[in-house]
Structure 1
């Protein structure tokens, strides 16, 4: 596994987080809903990008991915965990996920997330780390692990 570090996101990360999101999700969005509307996706990203919930994943100071987490009274919600294609399959996602689970366990909270049904690679990663399906909809699975 390559050495990586994380840093807090800033407003200046808006463009790179959109680029990583598109790289990670475009195919799944097209498979699920039929198309990727660039303007709509960019608007959504601008509206939902909150630097305080994002952490940038860096390998050799290059942005390799991002993670967004929100903590609630009852649980920790893994909003996003996206890696650029060239950094997938190297253990980075697993390590980030384990760190989130450890932090949540210290707080006595489960980690929850939702994943598109068509994203079987992510589902396999989450299942490997103890996540179980808690709810299903036509497009998504809701999963949880821990407390």
Structure 2
């Protein structure tokens, strides 16, 4: 899905609904639009969808990416990590 402000694409994300979880991936937001509450709005929609579907959410992000703090504020916890990625979930 594209994230648009005033008709201009500023980011995107993908949601995959699986039998046992919802996978949130490919979340991108142009740097000049970060820190303005857009990511919070996207995550609120994701959490509402997960509640409606009665499924947990899973996601991953690059090591060192500050988006991990945003995910943690929305109740995501770290399940695992490797040299490149952090894997998180929310029940």
TM-score, scaled relative to structure 2: 0.94
Count of aligned positions: 91
Q: Residue 59 of structure 1: CA displacement?
A: 0.3
Please list, as runs of the form range in 1=range in 2, the aligned pairs for 1:9-88 lying within 5 A after superposition. 55-88=1-34
Paired position in structure 2 for 1:101: 47
Q: Which runs of 4+ in 1 moved over 4 A?
A: none
Q: Residue 117 of structure 1: CA displacement?
A: 1.2
Distance in 2, Cα, partners of 1:66 & 1:94: 14
Q: Residue 114 of structure 1: CA displacement?
A: 0.8
The runs of 5 or more residues in structure 2 that have no matched partner are none
TM-score, scaled relative to structure 1: 0.60
For the pair 1:142 / 2:87, whether they are aligned, the reply is: yes
Distance in 2, Cα, partners of 1:65 & 1:140: 21
Q: Residue 85 of structure 1: CA displacement?
A: 1.2
Paired position in structure 2 for 1:116: 62
Distance in 2, Cα, partners of 1:80 & 1:140: 13
SS at match of 2:24: strand
SS at match of 2:25: strand
Distance in 1, Cα, partners of 2:72 & 2:88: 9
Paired position in structure 2 for 1:125: 70
Higher helix proportion: 1
User: Superposition RMSD on alpha carbons, in Å?
Assistant: 0.9
